[in-house]
Every structure is written in C-alpha cells, then in structure tokens.
Chain A
Amino acid sequence: MSEPLFSKKNLKLLSDPLNSSNPITVQVLGICSALAVTAQLKPAVVMSISVTIVLAFANVIISLLRNTIPNRIRIIVQLVVIASLVILVDQILKAYVYDVSKQLSVFVGLIITNCIIMGRLEAFALGNRPWQSFLDGIGNGAGYAVILIIVGFFRELLGSGSVFGFQVIPDSWYITNGGFYANNGMMILPPMALITVGIIIWVQRSRNRKLIEN
C-alpha cells in the first residue's frame, strides 16, 4: 500500500501514452477532434489543455465511485460525470474568463464526445485507485496533445504559412508578390489532417517495431 507517489510504475502511466500506447496513433481514439481543430496551432493547444483537464478529473471521480457504480449503467454514469464536468467548466469560464470561453466555444461540446475520455474511464479508472487514475488522465491527455500539436504545426505552416498566427514564410516569397511560393490550400481541409496523422503513425511504427501487428 505504501507505494511512493511517483514510483516507477506510476511514472509509466504518464510516459506510456506519449509513445507506445498513444491514444491517437496506437489506440486510434479521438481522431474526430484531431481532424477538426488542427487547421491552426492555437485551437489545437487550447483543445489539448481542455481535454487533459477534463480527462484527469473525470478519471478521479469515476475512480472514487468505482466500487458503487452498478455495472449495467456504468456507461451512463460515466457520461453524466463527463457532461456535468464540461458544463461546470463552461459556466465558470463564461462568468469569470469570458474571452477564454469564447475561444473554446465549440470545443467544449467536442470534449464530451471525445472517445479518449470514455475509453480511459472504462479501461482504467473503473479498476484503479484515484491517484493512478489521475496520472493516467494527465498522461493520456499529454499523448493526445503531442499529436494535435504536431499536426496543427504542419497544417498551419504549410496551409497558411504561419505558426501561432505569426507569419513565418516571408511575404515576398509568394507568387502574388512576384515570388515562387504558394500556400497549400489542401492542408487546411480535414483530409490532410488524416494523412498527416497517418504519416505520424508510419514514422512511429518504423521506429518502434513492437507496435507492428502481424
């Protein structure tokens, strides 16, 4: 019982989702939101933070309730916890940090439908203690964030020529200004997000052979 808070086993809960059990590239969860919000880097970062927070707290709550939840309605209980958390966060943001809540607008609704959250509650929090569940939530949130940020970075750079809204491709390079360069409009459309995620999965599997299925 007297296991240290950051024992090797617990730290693995944080680090595994970043690579060998990444929620997006290995478990293939949360793809829908990864496609929707990565046209630019800023919404991708905001979404990553929101999902991480909700995931960590939903994990803790379900873990605390895990011995009382009736098996037959456990999915409903999980949904109620996620939805209430998201609504609470939304209400508080609207009252105290209105400008942040405006930026989050659509994402708040998207968090509820994020498969990663339901997936972690069902697979981890229902069978583990609160602290481990909290770490698992943070770890999986971070694993989700890494992929979102990589995809967002390339889509914004190649699609709009900017990073975080700042122009990085010199204006004089553009064909319209007599240069040779044009943004790839395809990058800001959802299909390219899927292809970018595919390339990340390819790179990851060629480096980590354990992930290759026969």
Chain B
Amino acid sequence: MNRNGNTYTVLYAAIMVVLVAAILASVAMALKPQQVRNIEVEKKQSILASVNIASTPADAEKIYAEKIVNEYVVNVNGEKVEGDAFNTDLKREYAKPVEEMHLPVFECQTEQGVKYVLPLRGTGLWGPIWGFVALDEDMNTIYGANFDHQGETPGLGAEISTPVFEKQFIGKKLFDNKGQLVSIIVAKVGQDAPADHKVDGISGGTITSKGLEQMLLDDFARYEEFLKKKKS
C-alpha cells in the first residue's frame, strides 16, 4: 500500500485515534475508584494536619474516625442545617446565593480541648488554592493551618503548602479587641500590620500570597456569624 496516499494516512489516523482513546478511557475507568479513595484519604489527612496531627495514608482513616468527633453544616447566619459536611464541595457552595450556602464545620477532640476546623477555598495565581484552619474554643485564636494548591509555581507560590509557611499561623487572631473581623494579613517585606494578624508572605509568590489573604478574609467572613454565636 502507498504509505503517502490519502487513504493510508486517513486510515492510519483513524485507527490510531480509536486505539489510543480506547486505551486511555479504559485505564482511566479502571483506576477511578482507587483515585477517588486517595483523594478522600488526602482530605482526611489535611483536616488532621490542620489540628497538628501527622498521619500517613495508611492510618489516616483510623485516626480521623477517632479524633473528629462531630461534623456538620452551617449557613451564613451560623445556624445548623441538613447536609453532609465531608462531601460538601465548596466550589459549588460558593457559586450559590449567600443565604443558601452550606458551610462545613469539623470538631476535633484533642488533648487541649475541642478544636473547630473550617475549610477554605480561594484563587491563587494559576488555579484554586484551599486549606483548613483549626480554631481554639475562643473561636478567635488559630490552633493550626494547612494549605494546598492545584498548580502554583514550585518554589514560589507553591510554598504556601510548606510547614514553614503554615506554622506562622499558629496563635494568630481573627478578631481585634473590638470584636471586628480582621482576618490574617499575608504581608510583603516591610509591610506594616498588627503582629497578631500578620504572617510573612512568600518572595516571588506575591499573587498567591494575596490570593491566600483574600481567601482567608472572604471565607472567615462567611463563618463570622457562626464564630460569634459559638463564642457567646
């Protein structure tokens, strides 16, 4: 057969495309359940990491079942509503009108009392960033934080998911003395901000740092009523 003829070329392309599509589709389907499980385990590990509990993929589910004593969904008025906290997709919730949003809360039993873990989601430079922040019972002091991202630049924006960056959040406050929500400022070098509300941003990762700051502010504002109710 003429290898430069049109028939050969079209046939070759058609067979190649069908073959490759079949291989990729069947591999993707066969591996799907395992991948979904990995993502769930990872989420549990992140929640545990925000309360400073280290876990491995192997023992994460067991520790999670032990430590996370309660999980529920609240609305922006801070009232409990029906819903599955673990499987709530924040991306979908944030697309809804404010009063219909479901906001998950996880309660974790630690040796220092109950900690409240709030999930967050925002935008970095290249794609979404998200995380979990654990609060002390005063609903003001941060007990721990864990952040992650989809595709921030390694060595720059991606540094938000390193322990060095996350540890800075421990002990910081969300509200000022007057009870106003200030959230946390991710500061550039030399930027002035109250020490209780300030962490150092990442050099070369300014847009990711600012995205993280905005995420904290927006998301804590959504939980503000819940935090105030719980505190009083």
- Of chain A, the residue at the smallest CB distance from B32 is A95
* Contact (Cβ within 8 A) B155 A43: yes
* Contact (Cβ within 8 A) B13 A76: yes
Known A-B contacts A106-B151, A185-B204; the reply to A87 vs B16 at CB < 8 A is no
Known A80-B17, A84-B20, A156-B155; further 4 A-B contacts with Cβ < 8 A:
A37-B154, A95-B31, A160-B155, A188-B156
* Contact (Cβ within 8 A) B27 A88: yes
A94–B151 Cα distance when bound, in Å, is 15
* Contact (Cβ within 8 A) B154 A70: no
* Contact (Cβ within 8 A) A36 B153: yes
Tell yes or no: A7 within 8 A of B by CB: no
Within 8 A of B (CB), among A29-79: 36-37, 39-40, 43, 68-73, 76-77
In the complex, 10 of the A-B residue pairs with CB atoms within 8 angstroms, ordered by the A residue number, are A37-B154, A39-B154, A68-B12, A70-B8, A70-B9, A91-B31, A92-B27, A94-B38, A98-B57, A105-B151
Tell yes or no: B178 within 8 A of A by CB: no
> Of A40, A70, A71, A88, which is within 8 A of B155 by CB?
A40
* Contact (Cβ within 8 A) A84 B24: yes
* Contact (Cβ within 8 A) A39 B204: yes
Task: Fill in one digit per residue for B20-45: 1 if any A CB lies within 8 Å of its CB, else 0.
Answer: 10011001100100110010011000
* Contact (Cβ within 8 A) B4 A96: no
* Contact (Cβ within 8 A) A71 B4: yes
Please list the residues of chain A having a beta carbon within 8 angstroms of any beta carbon in chain B: 36-37, 39-40, 43, 68-73, 76-77, 80, 84, 87-88, 91-92, 94-96, 98-99, 102, 105-106, 156, 160, 185, 188-189
* Contact (Cβ within 8 A) A92 B9: no
* Contact (Cβ within 8 A) A70 B34: no
- Of chain B, the residue at the smallest CB distance from A94 is B35
* Contact (Cβ within 8 A) A77 B156: no
* Contact (Cβ within 8 A) A99 B31: no
B contacts with A: majority SS: helix
* Contact (Cβ within 8 A) B3 A91: no
* Contact (Cβ within 8 A) A70 B24: no
A98–B4 Cα distance when bound, in Å, is 44
Q: B residues within 8 A CB of A87?
A: 24
Q: A residues within 8 A CB of B153?
A: 36, 39, 106
For the complex of A and B, list the 10 residue pairs with the smallest distance between their C-beta atoms, beginning with the closest. A39-B155, A95-B31, A98-B38, A43-B154, A95-B34, A40-B155, A70-B9, A106-B151, A188-B204, A94-B35
B128 CB, min distance to chain A CBs, angstroms: 12
Tell yes or no: B70 within 8 A of A by CB: no
A73–B12 Cα distance when bound, in Å, is 9
A105–B9 Cα distance when bound, in Å, is 35
A37–B153 Cα distance when bound, in Å, is 8
Known A-B contacts A105-B151, A106-B151; the reply to A73 vs B9 at CB < 8 A is yes
Q: A residues within 8 A CB of B110?
A: none
Known A-B contacts A70-B9, A72-B4, A76-B13; the reply to A95 vs B155 at CB < 8 A is no
Tell yes or no: B203 within 8 A of A by CB: yes
